[in-house]
Chains A and B, each alone.
Chain A
């Protein structure tokens, strides 16, 4: 048991060596390191280990909570770290490679964390490294997107931290396990996870930041953050009814955006939210079938969604373009990439014999078993819609459609092999679902390949395709446009600017007026008055007298006022002999005496 190696720790420690290596040694090292992490994951025995007793204020820190639920995520995360690394192995940027492996390693650390403090630290490292990956593009847009990404995730982290502290205070333990939605602490924890999971309205960081990252960065980002959150929800909140509705909204609303979005990576980001929505619904339903479905769908989605991101990355790598308006006709010179992309598209759409079919249908069936008719209709709608935007739109506009005139070569062989592995596994799991079912948390009693089910899914997809074809032929299908679509990030991009404008033009103005009055007008007047209080009182008295007297006298008083003002503060001693001063002193002494006795 002690001989087991933490795959996340291996990646993190191993990543630090990368800058010291060069050329083919470095490439071999990268492959060995990530393959080693995968081997470490598949040889992990179940159990609880790597514990630091009383590591933090008397609480135990647990780095190895290894059971069937965390293992599934450990397998797929290390596998994708290998595929992603292979895909980008020829790229020059060392920082990107180091940070992407630390990012992957800390998400593996989060998955195996047995206490909330360890979990919190790994989640924070993920947020920091992910921000770096967004910045790695080194453009002004990526810099700003990275700042927004970091801000949102810092808030999410703080929500989780607040919930963590309250929860550990209530229960006396920081152990991470089933929490359930029953107290303020649990709501805060759920919200903290929800930011990472891209809950509706908390989701905008995802399509905002991911497409701004580098090719490799976008691929790594698309894999880990949301799926780690899915794991956390499956661990802490299975059977939480609210998640059913949250997930259902997540499956449905992004597909509308995906239909009109021009940037292909952003289309995939919206389909990513849609896919995570299916998982969230499954966790919310909480039956063994549903949770199995959610976990299985996370596994296959990482493969086929990753594959689609790989394909778009390969296209961007070869052409420098990512907008649908700039692509088209690439199948002529990139047939292999097109082929892999179609496999990814068929998998995400859930065609029979592809992996999405055997995992998505577990969740849809689970919703039917529980009699959730509206949810079931929503999921079916989303399943048809995902075919539309990810299944058809991605391969169609990139590789077919109007000919862009671009004739790029196939990407380098390491990219092709990476896509090939992901494509092969997507088909393999679709054909042999038992290979995946055997590693799921609960025993699986589900047969995806029944005649009725295959027919149902095939009809759903073919008639969705019919809708696409007819709308396309009729010219109704929305043309791709060079435009952006505002999303919930508007609230903190434009909304924040409006808020600042409001602050400047109301509260700040008011504050300035108050401070001017308190620190300039009043002291100024007091200073002026104190130069010759008696003369000032005389001017005030004359002004009062002028307003109560009639014409000839008023002119006299006014001329006297202007004279008094002109000579102010004037010569105090000359006009006010010592007797008057003595009188004033006497008045003040009497006033003091009176005050003293009251």
Chain B
């Protein structure tokens, strides 16, 4: 991660931000065990179901958009003249 990183100019700020972010993720996973749930579907009761689903959904979304949809629909900006 050099100064050319795509997120923020300063790598130090980035490092701190990322650490805070990852720590909050861990916190959420731990906290999840102590929350009283009222699942309407059985899988809602699994530990960190929503986190897992959100992560997988977004990875699938981005990969599908990049590798399937974009090659199909991308055209030059003057495609329609």
Chain A interface residues (CB < 8 Å from chain B): 255-257, 259-260, 365, 368-369, 371, 373, 376, 380-381, 384-385, 388, 400-403, 450-452, 455-469, 471-473, 475-478, 481-487, 493-494
Contacts and interface: CB of A to CB of B under 8 A. Distances in A.
Nearest to B58: A467
B16 interface: no
Question: Nearest 7 pairs between A and B by C-beta?
Answer: A467-B58, A459-B51, A259-B65, A460-B54, A463-B51, A463-B55, A478-B66
A483 B54 CA distance: 29
A493 B79 CA distance: 11
Interface string B51-72: 1111101110111111001100
Contacts of A403: 9
Nearest to B74: A483
Interface in B30-62: 31-32, 35-38, 40-41, 44, 48-55, 57-59, 61-62
Interface of B: 1, 5-9, 18, 21, 24-25, 28-29, 31-32, 35-38, 40-41, 44, 48-55, 57-59, 61-66, 69-70, 73-77, 79-80
B69 A257 contact: yes
Given A256-B69, A455-B32, A464-B58, A485 B74 contact: yes
Contacts of B7: 400-401, 469, 472-473
Contacts of B1: 473
A469 B21 contact: yes
Contacts of B29: 459
Contact of B79 (A381, A400, A466, A484): A484
B63 to A, nearest CB: 8
A471 B37 CA distance: 31
A472 to B, nearest CB: 6
A18 to B, nearest CB: 35
A235 to B, nearest CB: 29
Contact of A260 (B28, B32, B37, B70): B70
A310 B35 CA distance: 38
Contact of B51 (A368, A371, A462): A462
A465 B50 CA distance: 13
A401 B5 CA distance: 9
Residue from the set B5, B53, B59, B65 with the largest chain A CB neighbour count within 10 Å = B65
A473 B62 CA distance: 14
Nearest to B66: A478
A467 B41 contact: no
29 contacts: A256-B64, A256-B69, A259-B66, A260-B66, A260-B74, A373-B41, A380-B50, A381-B57, A381-B61, A384-B53, A401-B7, A456-B49, A460-B51, A460-B53, A462-B28, A463-B25, A463-B50, A463-B52, A463-B54, A464-B54, A466-B21, A466-B55, A467-B55, A469-B21, A471-B62, A475-B6, A483-B75, A484-B76, A485-B74
Contacts of B75: 483-486
Given A460-B51, A462-B24, A472-B7, A483 B66 contact: no
Given A452-B38, A455-B28, 16 more contacts: A257-B73, A260-B73, A365-B40, A384-B54, A403-B9, A455-B31, A459-B29, A462-B24, A463-B54, A463-B55, A467-B58, A468-B62, A469-B18, A473-B5, A483-B75, A484-B79
A464 B70 contact: no
A456 B44 CA distance: 9
A466 B25 contact: yes
B74 A459 contact: no
B40 A476 contact: no
A257 B65 CA distance: 7
Residue from the set B6, B8, B25 with the largest chain A CB neighbour count within 10 Å = B6
A161 to B, nearest CB: 30
Contact of B65 (A260, A384, A472): A260
Contacts of B70: 260, 478, 485
Nearest to A323: B77
A237 B52 CA distance: 36
B57 A459 contact: no
